[in-house]
Amino acid sequence: MSPPEESKDNLTMFVARFVVCTILSLSFAVGVPGNAFVIWTICRRMKQRSLSVTLILNLAIADVLVLVTLPIWIYSFANAWIFEIITCKALVFVVYCNMYASIFLITALSLERFMAVFRPFTVQRRTNKMFVHLVTLFIWIFSIAFGAPILSFQETEETDIGLQCTSRNYHSNSQRVACLLLESLVGFLVPFAIISICYVCIAKRISHMTGSSKQRSTRLVASVVVSFALCWLPYHVFNLMSIASAAMEDSDKKASELLEDTANRGTYIAGAITFLSSCVNPLLYAFAARNFQSSVRFTKLSKLFEQMNPVTKPEGTKELCVINGKEETLTSTELI
């Protein structure tokens, strides 16, 4: 490589590192206090919680768990990895558990909104505290189970900027394809297919419904879904490029190497963007709560969550809904 080309690569790498560290620093500065505030609001001010509020609480917990690791990642990308390999594996495991937990929790939220719109009475009757705890427990169990395989493959590697916790050591090409495909299918594509079906059905139904609380709650969950998709889509696109590269390795080696190089470079920035998904949700909640009449921010936020929490509504509270052209007045025990 000629000196000008080497200098250009070094400059590109410097800019990439600067962008990554900036994104991670912003995510940490906004996400940790924001999610901590959401956790405090729900735990402190809501003694009884519906399924949707409990899922939001667990989503905030998952986000905090991954965001508190960011100072280590920022230092690593700005300088070099200075910790043991076990720390590298553990932190990557936390990131992957957060990815799976977030998408599973968001999928559960979307299904809950679907049921709230189409079967509100059934949800109200059958959703009890035990059911809520079982749903969240299974979500975390599956998140840990799907995140655990990364412990076998994650390694540190020597790069131009020093040791980094960015390498995966697969035993074979087929194993690499299988792991990356499972990651994108379970961690993104299949859940978003389910979510998309839910919201297509909800959009058709909600156009005939004037119940403000259902509409506001559904829009809030939809905004959480969209923000997660925007933050994680680039990462999974580059993941699929890596899969294509591995599949083409024998038939077209040159194209395979080009795809792999592009995927490696793209994943560096896309991986940092994924952390934005962990800091944006509190901003969405604050925006959704802006119309509530209160001068205290946490009071507005708690009112937003109470709207998704039927058990906190006074007995006999009524709301007018128009469903399929017919007016129906539902009491607080009938709404979700």
Looking at the predicted structure, is the pLDDT value of residue 139 above 80? yes
Q: Report the chain's terminal Cα–Cα distance, integer Å.
A: 64
Q: How confident is the model at residue 315, as a pLDDT?
A: 40
- The DSSP H or E segment spanning 329 is strand 326-331
Query: pLDDT confidence of 276, banded at 50, 70, 90?
Result: very high
Query: pLDDT confidence of 213, banded at 50, 70, 90?
Result: low
Q: How confident is the model at residue 230, as a pLDDT?
A: 92
Q: Sort 260 into a burial class: Cβ within 10 Å, 0-12 / 13-18 / 19+.
A: middle
In this structure, the number of other CB atoms found within 10 A of the CB of residue 218 comes to 24
pLDDT in tens, 298-323: 566 667 666 665 543 444 444 444 34
- In sequence order, the 6+-apart residues with CB closer than 8 A to the CB of 223 are 284, 288
- CB < 8 Å & 24+ apart, contacts of 153-156: 153/179, 154/88, 154/89, 154/92, 154/93, 155/85, 155/88, 156/81, 156/85, 156/88
- Which residue, 60, 63, 55, is CA-closest to 28? 63
- The predicted model gives 29-34 an average pLDDT of 94
Would residue 115 count as lying in a domain?
Answer: yes
- Asked if residue 118 lies in contact with residue 71, where contact means CB atoms within 8 angstroms, the answer is no
Backbone angles phi and psi of 82, in degrees to 5: -115, 5
Looking at the predicted structure, is the pLDDT value of residue 5 above 70? no
Q: How confident is the model at residue 188, as a pLDDT?
A: 93
Q: What is the extent of the structural domain holding 241?
A: 3-331
Looking at the predicted structure, is the pLDDT value of residue 221 above 60? yes
Rounded-to-integer distance, Cα 100 and Cα 81, Å: 25
Rounded-to-integer distance, Cα 334 and Cα 208, Å: 18
- Asked if residue 242 lies in contact with residue 263, where contact means CB atoms within 8 angstroms, the answer is yes
pTM for the full predicted model: 0.84
- The DSSP H or E segment spanning 144 is helix 129-147
Rounded-to-integer distance, Cα 1 and Cα 252, Å: 24
In this structure, the number of other CB atoms found within 10 A of the CB of residue 277 comes to 25
Would residue 298 count as lying in a domain?
Answer: yes
pLDDT in tens, 46-56: 777 888 889 99
Would residue 336 count as lying in a domain?
Answer: no
- Asked if residue 29 lies in contact with residue 67, where contact means CB atoms within 8 angstroms, the answer is no
Would residue 53 count as lying in a domain?
Answer: yes
Q: How confident is the model at residue 291, as a pLDDT?
A: 59
- The predicted model gives 27-39 an average pLDDT of 93
Number of domains the chain contains: 1
CATH number for the domain spanning 226: value is 1.20.1070.10
Looking at the predicted structure, is the pLDDT value of residue 129 above 50? yes
Most confident of 24-28, 43-47, 177-181, 331-335: 24-28
Rounded-to-integer distance, Cα 65 and Cα 72, Å: 13
Helix/strand/coil for 322: strand
Would residue 200 count as lying in a domain?
Answer: yes
Looking at the predicted structure, is the pLDDT value of residue 7 above 80? no
- The predicted model gives 209-220 an average pLDDT of 64
Would residue 218 count as lying in a domain?
Answer: yes
To the nearest whole number, what is the mean pLDDT of the chain?
81
